[in-house]
């Protein structure tokens, strides 16, 4: 029988460690965030903030040029680069996050196809990054990629992708849905929601133990995508990125709820609390 279990602090303490004293930004990972579109710049801001609060050394945001003024004010620590990226620019990243607020631009499919064919490190696919797989018929490229892919769908995105694969999910439980996504895509899967599920490529399934209803707000998943991408940039395995990422995300939400209450917390509050979650885990 394949392993099942809970994602708890005891596990996270085995993968999230104190930084060496002589570390520099180049050691902490270069994360490329491909996110945002007109009217959805906030998604790129939240994803980039999630990555920076999770220890990424350098974050670049690939976005339409008209969004640069918003992004450079919203995330002054990040740099902005065009959406039309050359292959060397893509390769000069330790992890790539694709999808938050990306929209339905036809050029997105070409970019995602290039990443799946050429990139060999970790790619985190979220939101419109996932939707583009079915819209542009990229499932074969996803299954055959040399990259280590982590998908972070909410239940609706998961249902759409599995429906494209000919599978109806309405009567399935969440662990089964997550494992089916792994089987159909060959990616590590994070199925978001209450008791977030993580299913790995070796058939293991885990349930997260942190988080609260206050996190049910627009932008929360964008922060999670940034967290997972930052951990990938720091060389954690895809399974550890996914499991530790959802725990840290939920812990940040719990810290938000303690400070602000569940009703009024926002995803920007959540992104800022990620730093305190790391402090609580590491002890400094």
How many structural domains compose the chain? 1
Q: What residues form the annotated binding site for AMP?
A: 192-196, 221
pLDDT tens string, the chain, 284 residues long: the values are 478 899 999 999 999 999 999 999 999 999 999 999 999 999 999 999 999 999 999 999 999 999 999 999 999 999 999 999 999 999 999 999 999 999 988 889 999 999 999 999 999 999 999 999 999 999 999 999 999 999 999 999 999 999 989 898 877 899 999 999 999 999 999 999 999 999 999 999 999 999 999 999 999 999 999 999 999 999 999 999 999 999 999 999 999 999 999 999 999 999 999 999 999 999 87
Entry pTM: 0.98
CB 114 within 8 A of CB 141: no
**Structural domain of 267:** 4-282
Nearest-angstrom CA–CA distance, 140 and 159: 18
What's the CATH number where 9 sits? 3.40.1190.20
Nearest-angstrom CA–CA distance, 7 and 22: 31
Q: Quote the tokens at residue 163.
A: 């429906």
Q: Quote the tokens at residue 32.
A: 């490329």
Nearest-angstrom CA–CA distance, 65 and 61: 11
Alpha helices for the chain (secondary structure H)? 9-12, 41-53, 68-74, 87-91, 107-118, 128-135, 139-144, 155-164, 174-185, 220-233, 238-260, 267-282
Q: What residues form the annotated binding site?
A: 43, 101, 154, 192-196, 221-222
Query: pLDDT tens, 91-107?
Result: 999 999 999 999 988 88
Q: What residues form the annotated binding site for (6S)-NADPHX?
A: 43, 101, 154, 222
Output DSSP code: residue 62.
Answer: E
Q: Which of 219, 225, 221, 226 is nearest to 77 (CA)?
A: 226
Query: pLDDT tens, 195-237?
Result: 999 999 999 999 999 999 999 999 999 999 999 999 999 999 9
CA count, 13 A, side-chain hemisphere, 263: 0
Output DSSP code: residue 21.
Answer: T
SS3 (DSSP) at 19: coil
């Amino acid at each position: 029988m394949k392993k099942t279990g809970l994602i708890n602090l005891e596990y996270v303490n085995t993968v999230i460690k104190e930084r060496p004293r002589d570390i520099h930004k180049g050691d902490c990972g270069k994360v490329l965030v491909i996110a945002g579109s007109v009217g959805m710049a906030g998604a790129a801001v939240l994803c980039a903030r999630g990555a920076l609060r999770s220890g990424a050394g350098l974050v670049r945001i690939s976005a339409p040029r008209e969004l640069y003024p918003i992004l450079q004010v919203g995330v002054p620590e990040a740099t902005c680069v065009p959406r039309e990226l050359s292959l060397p620019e893509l390769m000069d990243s330790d992890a790539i996050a694709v999808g938050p607020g990306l929209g339905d631009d036809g050029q997105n499919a070409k970019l995602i196809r290039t990443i799946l064919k050429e990139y060999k490190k970790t790619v985190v696919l979220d939101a419109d990054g996932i939707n583009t797989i079915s819209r542009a018929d990229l499932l074969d490229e996803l299954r055959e990629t040399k990259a280590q892919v982590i998908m972070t769908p909410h239940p609706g995105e998961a249902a759409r992708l599995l429906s494209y694969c000919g599978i109806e999910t309405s009567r399935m439980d969440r662990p089964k849905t997550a494992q089916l996504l792994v089987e159909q895509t060959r990616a590590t899967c994070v199925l978001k929601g209450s008791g977030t599920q993580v299913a790995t490529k070796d058939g293991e399934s885990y349930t997260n133990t942190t988080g609260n209803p206050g996190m049910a707000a627009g932008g929360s998943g964008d922060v999670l995508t940034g967290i997972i991408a930052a951990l990938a940039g720091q060389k954690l395995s895809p399974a550890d990125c996914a499991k530790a990422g959802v725990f840290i995300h939920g812990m940040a939400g719990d810290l938000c709820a303690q400070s602000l209450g569940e009703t009024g917390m926002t995803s920007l509050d959540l992104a800022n609390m990620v730093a305190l979650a790391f402090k609580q885990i590491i002890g400094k």
